């Protein structure tokens, strides 16, 4: 009986150690830290998050032709009451018209002074070739830029960056996904603006995993990146 109990405790301890090993550790060496969320984080206790060391949050707003994240407006409105810089992102589908995706996003996202620029989340390529994707992405970027009067942020990974973004969209802020302890090196020497370094972060106020990010600068730099004015405030 004692042998069976000991084996059970060994299995329990092993399970705990394995689960802890996979947790993404926060990079406190960076001055500005943030997270990104969607409906997958479910209900967020923003009162608790505001007391954490989180300076910015990106929130999924839309995807493709007509999808709207079910918790976007709730999260967006809650962040508007906190001293946290907020940003909204659209999951880009290259096979869908850029104009249709643009309308989906702008129908939901009204950016105010102090908000971060809009984000185009580029992870899917569909069945299009490189030139088709670049043309579609360029159209969506220009539509966003004209509407919000600021350069949108491009989110992607190193592989897609090298193939589709480098040397074509160098003037735009890059939010790069690389789950590693070492900062990402972009192949053309461009500096990244945001780095998503892990997707298994833990934080009070959020049940389960959350993506962790850092900003390549200080708080003043982050504020400078934010929208300074909108058409409605001119």
Any catalytic annotation for residue 123?
A: yes
Question: Has 36 been annotated as catalytic?
Answer: yes
The answer to whether 75 and 120 are in contact (CB under 8 A) is no
Cα–Cα distance, 120 to 117 (Å, whole number): 10
Distances in whole angstroms, Cα of residue 1 to Cα of each of 4, 8, 9, 11? 5, 11, 13, 16
The residue annotated as part of the active site, out of 6, 65, 81, 123, is 123
Residue 60 pairs in a beta bridge with: 89
Q: Which helix (H) or strand (E) holds 215?
A: strand 206-215
Phi/psi zone of residue 126: left (φ > 0), alpha (ψ -120 to 50 degrees), beta? left
Catalytically active residues are 36, 123
């Amino acid at each position: 009986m004692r042998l069976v109990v000991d084996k059970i405790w060994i299995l329990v301890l092993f399970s705990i150690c394995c689960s802890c090993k996979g947790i993404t550790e926060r990079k406190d060496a960076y001055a500005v830290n943030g997270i990104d969320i969607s409906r997958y984080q479910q209900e967020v206790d923003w009162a608790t998050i505001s007391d954490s060391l989180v300076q910015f949050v990106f929130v999924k707003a839309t995807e493709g032709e007509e999808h709207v994240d079910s918790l976007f407006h709730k999260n967006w409105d809650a962040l508007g009451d906190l001293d946290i810089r907020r940003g909204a992102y659209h999951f880009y589908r290259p096979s869908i018209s850029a104009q249709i995706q643009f309308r989906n996003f702008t129908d939901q996202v009204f950016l105010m002074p102090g908000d971060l620029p809009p984000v185009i989340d580029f992870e899917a390529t569909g069945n299009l070739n490189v030139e088709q994707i670049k043309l579609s992405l360029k159209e969506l970027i220009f539509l966003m830029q004209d509407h919000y009067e600021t350069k949108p942020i491009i989110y992607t990974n190193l592989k897609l960056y090298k193939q589709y973004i480098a040397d074509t969209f160098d003037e735009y802020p890059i939010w790069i996904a690389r789950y590693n302890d070492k900062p990402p090196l972009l192949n053309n020497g461009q500096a990244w603006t945001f780095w998503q370094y892990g997707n298994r972060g833990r934080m009070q106020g959020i049940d389960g995993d959350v993506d962790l990010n850092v900003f390549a600068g200080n708080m003043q730099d982050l504020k400078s990146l934010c929208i300074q004015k909108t058409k409605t405030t001119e």
